[in-house]
């Protein structure tokens, strides 16, 4: 049985009963139990992390916001609440349990949930009719991704962002921040204590090239 089938409402068994009783937290915990290295956390991000991470975004200029690793959608509604009417939110996750859950629970015509890897962001962005993304947010567990996947994701992210856009990361370790700094010349950083566990924030800016 795959993750999509597991996500169906008629599931039985202890895990399924726990998932139903706990709502999104139960789905998230189940995702962690099935894929601990890919999920990398047992509880979703805090409200303080969400607000701090999204604070520098210039929403009036945002036509496409991309999120890697949305899990059960902790950031999705806060992003949709801030996004203009003609903006779109594209989320990409490798876990069918989470993608299926998001498709069933988020009803917004601006929302696209795609099962796939962040490494393929350029093709996935094109598949929904865009060439560039304005902002890309990542909740990926960069420390536990398979070898070479993290650097490849950061390079593809830089290519697909428009000039003036940014790559936003939050992670318990500083790996995402350090990988971002290898590719993005300007990186701003922050730290949130009110998260379990506390996390490192980084914003890598793809500045407009003054020579052009």
Task: Note the residues at the interface with ligand SAM (CB under 6 A).
Answer: 38-41, 44-45, 68-71, 74-75, 92-95, 98, 117-119, 139-141, 145, 149
| Structure tokens that stand for 53 in this block | 């991470």
Give the nearer residue to ligand SAM in terms of CB position, either 22 or 208. Answer: 22
Give the nearer residue to ligand SAM in terms of CB position, either 72 or 166. Answer: 72
Give the shortest CB-196-to-ligand SAM separation in angstroms: 11
Give the shortest CB-137-to-ligand SAM separation in angstroms: 8
Phi, psi at 104, each rounded to 5°: -80, -25
Give the shortest CB-96-to-ligand SAM separation in angstroms: 9
Task: Return the biggest CA–CA distance within the chain.
Answer: 61
Give the shortest CB-191-to-ligand SAM separation in angstroms: 16
Phi, psi at 53, each rounded to 5°: -65, -40
Angstrom CA distances, 190 to 65, 129, 165, 169, 200, stand at 21, 33, 18, 10, 6
Cβ neighbourhood burial of 165 (10 Å; 0-12, 13-18, 19+): buried
Pairwise CA distance, residues 103 & 17, whole Å:
21
Give the nearer residue to ligand SAM in terms of CB position, either 40 or 174. Answer: 40
Pairwise CA distance, residues 88 & 79, whole Å:
10
- Give the up-direction half-sphere exposure of residue 161: CA atoms within 13 A in the CB hemisphere: 25
Give the nearer residue to ligand SAM in terms of CB position, either 51 or 208. Answer: 51
Give the nearer residue to ligand SAM in terms of CB position, either 45 or 157. Answer: 45
Give the shortest CB-51-to-ligand SAM separation in angstroms: 13
């Amino acid at each position: 049985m795959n993750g999509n089938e597991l996500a169906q409402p008629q599931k039985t068994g202890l895990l399924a009963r726990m998932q139903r009783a706990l709502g999104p937290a139960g789905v998230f915990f189940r995702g962690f139990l099935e894929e601990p290295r890919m999920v990398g956390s047992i509880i979703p991000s805090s409200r303080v992390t969400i607000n701090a991470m999204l604070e520098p975004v210039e929403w009036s200029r945002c036509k496409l916001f991309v999120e890697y690793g949305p899990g059960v959608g902790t950031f999705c509604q806060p992003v949709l609440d801030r996004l203009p009417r003609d903006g779109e939110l594209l989320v990409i996750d490798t876990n069918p349990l989470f993608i299926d859950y998001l498709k069933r629970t988020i009803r917004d015509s601006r929302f696209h949930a795609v099962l796939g890897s962040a490494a393929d962001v350029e093709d996935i962005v094109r598949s929904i009719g865009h060439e560039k993304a304005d902002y890309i947010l990542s909740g990926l567990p960069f420390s536990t991704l398979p070898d070479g996947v993290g650097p490849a994701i950061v390079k593809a992210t830089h290519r697909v962002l428009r000039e003036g856009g940014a790559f936003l990361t939050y992670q318990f370790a500083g790996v995402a921040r350090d990988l971002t700094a290898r590719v993005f010349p300007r990186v701003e950083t922050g730290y949130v204590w009110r998260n379990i566990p506390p996390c490192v924030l980084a914003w890598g800016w793809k500045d407009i090239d003054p020579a052009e």
